[in-house]
Amino acid sequence: MIKKIFCIAAAMLLGISTLSQAASAKPVCVVANSYGVYETKVFINNVFSPEGNYTYEQKGSAFPVDDLEKYSLVAVFHSAERPWTSEECSTIQKYLESGGHLLLGGFAARNLSKEVGAANIPWIGIKTVGAGKGAKAEVLKPAHPLLKGVFDTVTSPEWLASTYLGVVDSSALEILVGIPENRVMVGFQKVGKGWVAFLSLEAFRFKKDMPQEEKDAYYKIFRNIVEMANTSGEI
């Protein structure tokens, strides 16, 4: 009887803890322009649900440079309404260094850094996105939290053969999936207490006949990023 009561109490505490986490989690800010609006739909549909722990706010194409602290993660797909200025880059860097998180999807890194230049934004990690050299991307750091569970069911999904890869512009950027040394499909860079994640693929372009389990494997990266951004402690 005592054991039963203990189990019930433990379950109640776990439930309270989960509800507390959900209530205290900051929303994810989603920004997109051009083809990024299609990627946004895939991201939202495969990460958020009414019964889930995390919420989001769509800001259209406006990057929330003055409200960054409101969000656990700012996800930008393809581009925003305009490139960043030097002052905005400084503000974003402070947000990251203090524990903020940024996801740059597809061509976002290239488009957002057009005015300032990627070489002058050391935390962006990516110079541009372009066609690969025909080599299939490799899973270089399978134990990284961002890739948790991604390759458990399908060890070599066909999206690894995508030709669109980021050109690395920072020795601090970790290539989790890509071609060693200079091409990245899934990247991660620590910035102070926070980090920047990079995804070169645009999931809305996946072929309709691609097996669903392979698509789900990629969507798992989306979910890992959101979960990591809402988990206390440094990666």
| 235 domain-assigned | no
Residue 132 pLDDT: 62
Dihedral of CA 125/130/133/137: which sign? Answer: positive
* Percentages (nearest 5) of helix, strand, coil residues in the chain: 35, 20, 40
pLDDT of residue 134: 66
Largest CA distance in the chain: 68
21 domain residue, yes or no:
yes
Q: What is the mean predicted confidence (pLDDT) over 182-197?
A: 95
pLDDT at 136: 86
Q: Is residue 52 part of a domain?
A: yes
pLDDT confidence tier of residue 111, bands split at 50, 70 and 90: very high
Q: Is the pTM of this model over 0.85?
A: yes
Whether 234 is in a domain gets the answer no
Is the model's pLDDT at 46 over the cut of 70?
yes
pLDDT at 21 over 50: no
Residue 128 within any structural domain of the chain? yes
Give me the amino acid identity at 3.
K
In a domain, 144, yes or no: yes
What pLDDT is stored for residue 229 in this prediction? Answer: 96
Output the pLDDT for position 131.
74
Contacts of 97 (CB under 8 A, 6+ apart): 191, 192, 193, 194
Cβ atoms of 189 and 125 within 8 Å: the answer is: yes
Q: How far apart are CA 14 and CA 182, in angstroms?
A: 44
Q: Is residue 69 one of the residues assigned to a domain?
A: yes
CATH of the domain at 203: 3.40.50.880
* Domain around 9: 2-229
Cα 214 to Cα 208: distance, rounded to the nearest angstrom: 11
pLDDT for the residue numbered 133 = 62
Count of the separate structural domains present in the chain: 1
Alpha helices in the chain (DSSP H): 2-24, 36-47, 86-97, 108-112, 212-229
